[in-house]
Each structure stands twice: as structure tokens, then as C-alpha cells.
Chain A
Amino acid sequence: MNATQTLIALWTLVVKEIKRFTRIWPQTLLPPSITMAMYFIIFGNLIGSRIGVMDGFSYMDFIVPGLIMMAVITNSYSNVASSFFSNKFQRSIEEMMVSPMPNWVILSGFVLGGMARGLGVGLIVTVVSLFFTRLSMEHPLLTVLVVVLTSALFSVGGFINALLANKFDDISIVPTFILTPLTYLGGVFYSISMLPDFWQGVSMLNPILYMVNVFRYGFLGVSDIPIGWALMAILGFIVVLFTVALKMLERGKGIRT
């Protein structure tokens, strides 16, 4: 395939993915908006007013970046995991496999589709948050960069999950038992400075903590961890996972006999 044909193939796959999640918007776009609105009402308004100040900000202002990031992470991951696994399950993945599309285009198409949903939901949640607080960004470029990178990272993660999955249950195990606990313990609702030293150390092993903190830094200008180091870690994870996913795809893991 020449460069133009490759771009057409990639664009086709991305558009197809976007059409998929917008076609089923009551399942993909509406629920996170409602869930996050609940978080804002309950944690931000009702409970948050009793919690008081966190890291020098109102509790509502503190949790907004974390909740946006949580929505981006879960939606990027679950979009690719469920879409790719559905393609495997319905065997429509064969449409792509018999075509001359390179494997990196197939992987990138699904990842960009996952990012479109993750970032789209992130934008919706941001708009919803404006009903509860006034948002300001200290470092807009950094905010955008970190949310895009995080979305890419979890989209690739969802792709690997779908490649390895043999049944629908397998694509819900990681989000339920790994992703959700790591997100909740990743400093979305609290600052790790509130924790005893030991648990602060344990928290530093949680990669989501870095993403939430850099994102919050972009909004509020405060972070529990060094920003440069966190960005390097996210980029490193993306490179490693993308390489692993591509190798698995080339070997036909879970899709070729």
C-alpha cells in the first residue's frame, strides 16, 4: 500500500469506530455523563462542602480533573476492548485481515477510535462539570497532552485485553478488578499527602496516580509527583504496550489459527 492508500485505510477504520460508538450513544456516551454528574452532585456538592479544602482548593475543584481523567481512562479502554472483541466474536475482523492493511494500521485505527470516545466523553464530563464549578487551566497544553497520551495508553491496553480475551467475561475482568481499583486509589478523590508514609509509597506504584496528578497539575498547578517524570513514564508505557500489541497482532494471537 502506498502512503495515500494507507491513510485512506486508517481513516476508514477510525470513522467506522466513531460511527460504532455514536450509533449506540445511549450505551457509550450517555451513562458516563450521568455517572459523573452524580459524582459531582454527591461528592462535590453534598459531601465536598463538609470536607473543606484539599491541597488549597475546594473539594469540587480538586476532584473535577480526576473525574474527567477517570472517564477518559475507562471509556478509552472499554471502547477498544469491546469493539475489537466484538469484531473477533462476529469474525468481522477477517474483513481487515484479508485486506492489505498493515497490522500497525489496524492497531492504530482501533486505538484512535478508542481515543475518540475517551476524549469525547472527557469533553462531555468537562462540560457537565461547568454546571457545578468554574474551571480554569493553569497549563492548557500540558493538560491536553497528558489526557491525549493517557487515552492512547488505555486504548492500547484495551486492545491487548481484547486480543487475549476468549469470551465477553474476559473483557470485563481487567476494568472491574484492576482498572477501577487503581483509578479510585489513584488520587482521584484525595491527595496522597493525606496518607501515611507507607501507603504513600505504595500509591507511587500505581501508574494512574501519575496521570491523574499531571492532569490535575494542568488545571490547578499542584501535583503530588514530579511532572516530567510522570510524562516520561506515560510515554514509555505507550511505546512498550504498542509494541507488545503489534507483535501479538503480527503473530495472530487470538485471531489466526
Chain B
Amino acid sequence: MAEPALSIRGLTKVYGNGFHALKGIDLDVQQGDFFALLGPNGAGKSTTLGVVCSLVQKSAGKVTIFGIDIDQDFAKAKYQLGVVPQEFNFNQFEKVIDIVLAQAGYYGMTRREALPRAEKLLSDLGLWDKRNGSARMLSGGMKRRLMIARALMHRPKLLILDEPTAGVDIELRRSMWEYMRRINRDEGTTIILTTHYLEEAESLCRNIAIINNGDIIRNTNVRDLLAELNTETFLLDLAHPLEEAPVVEGFEVSLTEPSQLSLVIHRGQQMNDVFAALSEQGIKVVSMRNRANRLEEMFVSMVNSGQNAIDQTQRQEAHA
């Protein structure tokens, strides 16, 4: 089996104030994967990625990128790596073209190699017309795309995207998703994504790790994770308004609006049974949708159960 694109063993980070940001995490991301690293704010996502791209110094543990140990040859490992950080981190007063060409130069690319690459990436990301403008004149979405173009200049095999679509409107977000899918599918670039939009992780990623309080609490593939969901809630839009919720034996049905029902389906239950029962009562359903993002429900439940366990431990310690 090929070396993982990223392998992390026992990664620990203790900040100067004694805060344990990472508590010995293990993580593997296989080559070609589209991987999501999820977690609430302060869980340790950015610290983990910061160690991988040398912005954070680890306290202990081992990190290899395509088999290259960062403690042995970080420079070689960095060639494999492209980074799109959460915050804008380019000189806002520089020209767009200068920003991407400088990045290529830092990787030792000649201008002759870098210029056509810059033209392709900026064109693909809709920024070629803006190349001679100052970066500060770009919109928020354009700045994010500029950081993606910059990160791809040296053709990295592993692309790290730390909340790349934060603050980006829906249309642009979807076009960025398509672009990321394309470089993952067509160029085989391994992508690691952190995001707050769980719909994004569900839509794009094959594998997922959930990090909370410096520990990886789940590391699995998205399909298996979603299969674990015991319940799903659907909203049914009705053709005619009702005064009260119909009774459907074995199902939780409630009226959210006069023309809308909320239906909770447990694993193993059949939707057909609900529709049959509603039809018998003369209720016509015109459309149906998930009430909430499924992954989001699971994520919230996992993080909350983790937090409850911590709270319980702290209470026990306080009583001891």
C-alpha cells in the first residue's frame, strides 16, 4: 500500500500557558483522499494543520508527509504541501500576479515556469482579469480564490484548506467545491479540509475525522458515519392546511405550520407506511425535505456527548 499522504502519530501540543491543544492524536490521510477534519472552535483543527505546515511547533509526536518525516527533512516535505489558511495572509498592497509569482519563486520555480502556471490557475479561478490590480481591491471570495491559486502554484500533492469557503456566498461556494472536486479527481491531489459548513464535508469528502478538546473522537468514512444515524427528521409540505397533526401509529408526527408536518423516522421504519397512513386520512403531501443537515445532527450529538463527559469528570474532580 502506498504511503499515506499524511500520517500523524502521538501529536501533542502544549502551549506556553499550559493549555493542551492536542493530546497525542493519531491520524492517517490516504493518497487521493478528500478528507474532512471537523470540530468546534478551539478543538485543535488549526493547531493540527499548523504543525503539518510548520506554523506551529509541536510538543511531541511524529508527522510524515508522503513518507517524509518533517523532523528529518521538512523542506522536502513542504514541496508536497499547499496551504490555504483561514485568514487572508498575503500582502494586501501587492498585485495579484506578484503574489502568486512570488510564491512560485519561494519554491524555486523559474519565472518561465511560473508565468503559464499563474495564468492557468488565475484563469481557472476567475482572477486573470484582476492580475494587475492590488489584492486589497478584491472581494472576500476573490481573496479566498487567490489563496487557492497561490497554494497550487508549485503543484502540491497535498492541499490543506482551512475553512476555504468561510464568508463566501452560496453560488461562489458551489463553484469552489466544483473546482476542488476537479483537482482531487483529475489531478489526484489529496485534499484535507476543515470547515464549519458540515454540508460541505458531507458533499465533498469521503473520509472524516472529528476532533474535540484536542482528541480525535471519530475517524471514519462519511457513508459509515451517516449510516449510524438512528433518526432523521423530514418536513412534509401539504396540499391543504390542517388544524391538528394527524396520528400515525408508530411515528412521531407534529404540525410545524398549518401546511407543514414534521416527521421523525427511526432506523428500520418505512416511509411508505407514513404516506399510506396519510393518504388514508385524505392528506396529500406535495413535497418533502430533510429538516437539518444529517451530519450536523450527528456532529452536534458527538461533540455534546464529549462535552458532557468532560463536564461530568470535572464535577467528579470538584467533589473529590
Contact = CB atoms under 8 A, between A and B. Distances in A.
Contacts of A11: 105
A257 B85 contact: no
Interface in B176-233: none
A1 interface: yes
Contacts of A95: 89-90, 102-103, 106, 150
A113 to B, nearest CB: 13
Contacts of A209: none
Given A97-B55, A98-B54, A19 B105 contact: no
Interface string B100-112: 0111011111100
Interface string B63-77: 000000000001110
B55 A8 contact: no
A12 interface: yes
Instruction: Report which residue of B83, B91, B94 has the largest number of chain A beta carbons within 10 angstroms of its beta carbon.
Output: B91
B91 A9 contact: no
Interface stretch (A84-92, A154-162, A213-221): A84-92
Q: Is the interface of A mostly helix, strand, loop or mixed?
A: helix
Given A99-B103, A99-B106, A90 B15 contact: no
Contact of A8 (B93, B94, B110): B110
B103 A92 contact: no
Given A2-B108, A12-B106, A97 B91 contact: no
A1 to B, nearest CB: 5
B140 interface: no
B56 interface: yes
A96 B15 CA distance: 23
B89 A94 contact: yes
A248 B105 CA distance: 24
Contacts of A252: 57
Nearest to B50: A257
A86 to B, nearest CB: 8
A19 B10 CA distance: 44
Given A16-B98, A94-B55, A95-B89, A9 B106 contact: yes
Interface residues of B, number: 34
A90 B91 contact: yes
A85 to B, nearest CB: 13
Interface in A1-55: 1-2, 4-6, 8-9, 11-13, 16, 19-20, 23
Contacts of B92: 90
Given A16-B102, A98-B53, A8 B109 contact: yes
B54 A5 contact: no
Given A5-B107, A9-B107, A256 B90 contact: no
B89 A90 contact: yes
Instruction: Report which residue of B78, B101, B110 has the largest number of chain A beta carbons within 10 angstroms of its beta carbon.
Output: B78
Given A98-B55, A100-B78, A87 B91 contact: yes
B273 interface: no
B75 to A, nearest CB: 4
Nearest to A109: B106
Contacts of B93: 23
Given A23-B93, A257-B15, A98 B83 contact: yes
A92 B150 CA distance: 12
Contact of A98 (B78, B87, B90, B101): B78
20 contacts: A4-B108, A9-B107, A11-B105, A13-B102, A16-B98, A20-B91, A23-B93, A86-B91, A90-B89, A91-B88, A91-B89, A92-B91, A94-B83, A94-B89, A95-B102, A95-B103, A97-B53, A100-B106, A101-B106, A252-B57
Closest 6 CB pairs of A and B: A5-B108, A12-B105, A99-B106, A100-B75, A91-B89, A100-B78
Interface of B: 15, 50, 53-57, 74-76, 78-79, 81, 83, 85, 87-94, 98, 101-103, 105-110, 150
